[in-house]
Amino acid sequence: MPPKANAHSVSPNNPCPFLRALVSAGMLPDDVASLSEVTEVITRVEKTGDGHPNLPGAAIRAIAAAANGLNPLQVARNAKGGVQLNALRNGPLDKKGAGSGILDAEANVVATELDRLDEFASDKVSVSGEKERGLDLKELVHMMNENFTRAAGRRRVIDRFLMDGEWPILLKVMGKEGKDGRYLSVAEVRQLFLKRKLPERMMSQFAL
Ligand code: HEM
């Protein structure tokens, strides 16, 4: 059965575009989800992607365990009680504007930042011969470097490393195999941010 059609509300304190889509589709709760649930849902979603990508479950669990605070007590609390998806903002993974800036601090989409994606994109050709704008790994790395550079004075060193666990992972999960390699479709990324929706080609394969 595909995910429920009705969009569920998503906390503005969840700044992850991917998790926001999962909450909106009712695949994850808006508040607290156990680490097993988060890992299981993400693993099942990945498998619906082009080429059936597979992220290591242990890495997803580790991120979810550390997402609400790095002190051992908080990590243990997440491991036992689950990750608070509606309290990720201001947590250790929050780059506080040092990322793409597409979502502002209230999780509203900033149109100019969303449009800026296209500045890093180029024409791509899908396997079926369809032409569209897309971002391959090299273009995503260029964008992440530029995002880090423009955040000088308000960034942490770790922010550049955190980015490597965001856009390149989205490329793995939501990317399309193009004639010249894997790319993220700009249209699909726009939909992810604006409508909080993963591509229909993936959702139609997801069984609740
Ligand atoms: C337990 C799993 C996850 C947690 C706790 C998490 C958490 C977060 C947080 C807190 C941010 C905000 C960072 C910021 O704005 O500075 C973020 C951003 C992001 N995440 Fe996730 N995330 C998870 C899994 C994923 C997965 C599996 C993907 C890809 C499929 C993903 C893709 C992204 C992307 C693309 C961004 C946007 C960065 C930007 O706008 O520059 N996340 N995530």
Provide the pLDDT confidence category of residue 1 given band limits of 50, 70 and 90: very low
Is 3 a residue whose pLDDT tops 90?
no
* pTM, 2 dp: 0.95
Say how many Å lie between the CA of residue 181 and the centre of ligand 1: 23
Q: What percent of the chain has pLDDT over 70?
A: 97
Cα end-to-end distance, the chain, whole Å: 6
Within 8 A by CB and 6+ apart from 129, the residues are none
**Ligand 1: which atom is nearest the Cα of residue 169?**
29
Look at residues 182, 178, 104 and name the one whose alpha carbon lies nearest to residue 140. 182
Instruction: Taking residues 95-115, report their average pLDDT.
Output: 97
Checking if the pLDDT of 5 tops 70, the result is no
In tens, the pLDDT along 156-181 reads 999 999 999 999 999 999 999 999 99
Whose CA is closest to 19, among 86, 96, 104, 111? Answer: 86
Asked if the model's pLDDT at residue 58 lies above 60, the reply is yes
Name the β-bridge partners of 125.
131
- pLDDT of 207 over the 90 cut: no
93 lines ligand 1 (CB under 6 A): yes
Task: Determine the average pLDDT of the residues in 119-137.
Answer: 96
- Tokens at 126, concatenated: 């899908």
Cα–Cα distance measured from residue 57 to residue 60, given in angstroms and rounded to the nearest whole number = 5
Looking at ligand 1, which atom is closest to the CA of residue 38?
1
Question: pLDDT > 90: what percent of the chain?
Answer: 94
Strands of 122-125's sheet, edge to edge? 122-125, 131-135, 181-185, 176-178
Ligand 1 pocket residue status of 172, Cβ below 6 Å:
no
Residue nearest to atom 33 of ligand 1 (CA): 166
Q: Is 166 in the pocket of ligand 1 (CB under 6 A)?
A: yes
pLDDT at position 206, please? 85
Angle at 199 between CA 18 and CA 95, to 5 degrees: 20
- Cβ of residue 169 lying under 6 Å from some atom of ligand 1: yes
